[in-house]
Amino acid sequence: MIQIETFPVYPLGCNCSIIYSQTTKEAYVIDPGGNEKEIIEKLNQKQLVLKALIHTHAHFDHCLGTKTISQNFPLASVCLHKADLELYKMLPVQCKFFGLPYNNLELIEITHFLQDEEELPIHEKKFKVFHTPGHTPGSICFYLELENQPILFSGDTLFAGGIGRTDLWGGDSHAILKSIKKRLLTLDDETLVIPGHGQFTKIYNEKHYNPFL
C-alpha cells in the first residue's frame, strides 16, 4: 500500500507531502519547505528510506528544509527541473526579498534534474513528471495513480480556485495558462489535486469553477 501524508510547513504554509510504500519502505518527500525536524522525525518513526527530495519549483517556501533533510539522508537524490536552477541558486536573495533570515547560505547540490514525462518508481507504481512552466520556468507537477484514484501534486501552478502568481522571477502568465489547460485540465475529472498551498481540490472543480481559467 502506498500512503500519502500531507501537512503545511513553516514559513508560508507550503503543503509538504511524504509518499511512501508500507511494503518496501521507500519514500519521497515533495516540497520540503520547512519543519525539517518534523519531516525527519516522521521518516525515522516509520523507518522509511528516503529515495528523493522533490521540488515542484525553486521558491524558498518549497526548499528551506532541503539542506537539513538531505544531510540526514545523504543517499536521497535532490531533484529539480533544470529551468529552475538559477532560481534555486538565488534562494538567499529570495529570502532577503521576503524579509526572512537565511542562514543556510551554502546550498545543497541538485543531484537529479527532472525531465518532462520522466517516471519515478515507488513500489509497483510510478510517479510521472509534467513540466508545467509559468509560475516559474522549471515548475513541475507530479502525477500518481493509486487504486482508481489519480492524484496530482500541482505545486504552485494550480490551486483550489486559483493559479500561481506570475509576477516573480521568471513568471509567465501566458505560459501558466497554457500549461494548466494542456497538461492538467486534460486529466481525469476525478483526479485529486494536492496543491502547493491551501485546500485540496479535484480537476472537475477547477475546470468548471476556477475563475482564472
Going 51 to 53 to 55 to 56, the CA torsion angle's sign is positive
CB closer to Zn ion, 84 vs 156: 156
CB closer to Zn ion, 2 vs 195: 195
Distance of CA 108 to the CA centre of its chain: 17
CB closer to Zn ion, 70 vs 136: 136
CB closer to Zn ion, 51 vs 135: 135
- Rounded CA-CA distance 14/11 in Å is 8
Task: List alpha helices for the chain, DSSP H.
Answer: 36-45, 66-72, 85-89, 91-97, 173-179, 203-209
Give the residues lining the site for Zn ion (CB under 5 A).
59, 61, 156, 196
CB of residue 24 to Zn ion, shortest distance in Å = 30
Per the CB < 8 A criterion, the answer to whether 174 and 167 are in contact is no
CB of residue 124 to Zn ion, shortest distance in Å = 31
CB of residue 137 to Zn ion, shortest distance in Å = 12
CB of residue 151 to Zn ion, shortest distance in Å = 19
- Rounded CA-CA distance 213/202 in Å is 14
